[in-house]
Each structure stands twice: as C-alpha cells, then as structure tokens.
C-alpha cells in the first residue's frame, strides 16, 4: 500500500477559488448534529487529497453557474479523529451504532481518513440552504433506503429530489471533467468519494503522520 504524503493534501482555505465556496468544518464545533461535542481542534483546516481538491474546485465553479454556493463540511478525517468519535458520549449512549450494519466506520475504514471523501451541500448566494430532505450528518437508526431519509433512494418529494439531482450533477460533472469516477455514498446524500479500488491502495492517515500544523485533533 502507498503512503500519502502531507504534500499531497490541499488546505481548501488556501485554494485560489476559496472565495466561491464556504467551509463549515462541522467537527471543529461542539454543536455538530451527530456528536454534540467537538472532535477536531478549533483551528483545524479542511484538507483533501489533491485529486479530489481539483474536483471540488471545479464543482464550486459549476455551483456558481446555478446561482448556488458549495458548502464543504468535512474532508480528511484522520484515524485519530475516528477513534475520538468512538469515545463520545453519543456513541457510548448508542452502542448499536457500532453493530452491523455499522452506522459509524471503524478507524481506518473508508475514504475520509485518506482525504479522498468530501461532505458537501448547496446554499443560495444569500445563504439559504437548499432543502435536501435532512440536515447534513443526519443519522437514521435504520439505514435502509425505505426508512432512512438521508439515503439517496428515499422517496422524497419533487423539490428535494431536484435539489439532490443538482448537487449530483455538479459534483459528478466536475469529476467527469477530471476523468475521475466519483462515487456518491448511497446512504448519505452529502458524501462523495473516490472509488474503493482507488482509496484502498493508500494507508489511512493518523495525526501522527502529519506535521503539527496539519493535525486534526488537539
């Protein structure tokens, strides 16, 4: 497996196009919907692998064409942060979240600890969130398409389906321009990631793999 160099990670606040999207790093705040306690350090930055960063930059430009702004909620989520999530009061109060089918990934699993997943939504240029059917990070006790309103196949009304289709067209259209096969995570409308055959070639990152300024947790 390959090791990801810190030089391959992009601080999304430093991109030349950073003024056309909004970064709202959810887990750097204690009012995040899932855990209600802070996971990242307060001054944490949103990092993405450079390949995904280029896609997000193009997506932000496409969103502007639709008079919308892309919101970035989370990117690199180190194994250090994933372990910290499992120690939260919310998880301890809901141990079934860790039973199969798991509602939370074990540390090291998935694309987030490689900077190869991005959680996003859309808002109007005056700051009104587009209705996607649930808030970002909504967690349903039943992950099935019929019971989970965050699932991409849940039977929402026309306006919500239209908003989700717009987000899909923006993200997947940008990926196509980069010749990248981006995968929308089925059970979370906000999650777009590199394909497993790509991210599984790389070792998951912990805070110990990063320079002090890039570490995600205190």
Q: Decide: 144 and 154 in contact? Cβ < 8 Å.
A: no
With bands split at pLDDT 50, 70 and 90, how would you rate the model's confidence at 207? Answer: very high
Write out the two tokens for 212.
């002090």
Q: Decide: 176 and 185 in contact? Cβ < 8 Å.
A: no
Write out the two tokens for 88.
């939260």
Cα separation, 205 vs 210, in Å, equals: 8
Model pLDDT, residue 18: 82
- Nearest CA among 51, 60, 4, 71 for reference residue 194: 51
Q: Where is average pLDDT lowest: 15-19, 56-60, 189-193?
A: 15-19
Cα separation, 126 vs 128, in Å, equals: 6
**Structural domains in the chain, sorted by start:** 6-210 (3.30.1380.10)
If you average pLDDT over every residue of the chain, what do you get? 97
pTM check: above 0.85: yes
Residue 16 has pLDDT above 90, yes or no: no
Q: Where is average pLDDT lowest: 127-131, 143-147, 170-174, 180-184?
A: 143-147
**Which distant-in-sequence residues (6+ apart) come within 8 Å of 147 by Cβ?**
140
Neighbours of 87 (CB within 10 A): 11
């Amino acid at each position: 497996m390959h090791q990801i160099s810190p030089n391959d990670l992009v601080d999304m606040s430093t991109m030349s196009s950073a003024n056309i999207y909004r970064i709202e790093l959810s887990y750097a705040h204690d009012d995040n919907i899932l855990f209600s306690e802070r996971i990242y350090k307060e001054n944490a930055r949103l990092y993405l692998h450079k390949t995904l960063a280029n896609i997000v930059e193009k997506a932000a430009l496409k969103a502007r064409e639709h008079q919308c702004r892309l919101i970035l909620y989370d990117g690199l989520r180190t194994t250090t942060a994933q372990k910290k999530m499992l120690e939260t009061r919310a998880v301890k109060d809901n141990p079934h979240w860790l039973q199969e089918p798991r509602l939370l990934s074990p540390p090291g699993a998935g694309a987030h600890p490689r900077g190869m997943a991005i959680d996003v939504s859309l808002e109007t240029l005056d700051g009104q969130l587009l209705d996607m059917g649930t808030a970002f990070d909504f967690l349903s006790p039943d992950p099935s398409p019929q019971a989970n309103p965050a699932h991409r196949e849940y039977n929402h009304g026309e306006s919500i389906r239209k908003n989700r289709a717009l987000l899909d067209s923006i993200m997947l259209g940008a990926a196509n321009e980069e010749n990248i096969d981006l995968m929308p995570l089925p059970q979370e409308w906000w999650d777009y990631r590199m394909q497993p055959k790509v991210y599984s070639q790389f070792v998951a990152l912990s805070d110990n793999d990063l320079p002090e300024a890039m570490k995600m947790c205190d």
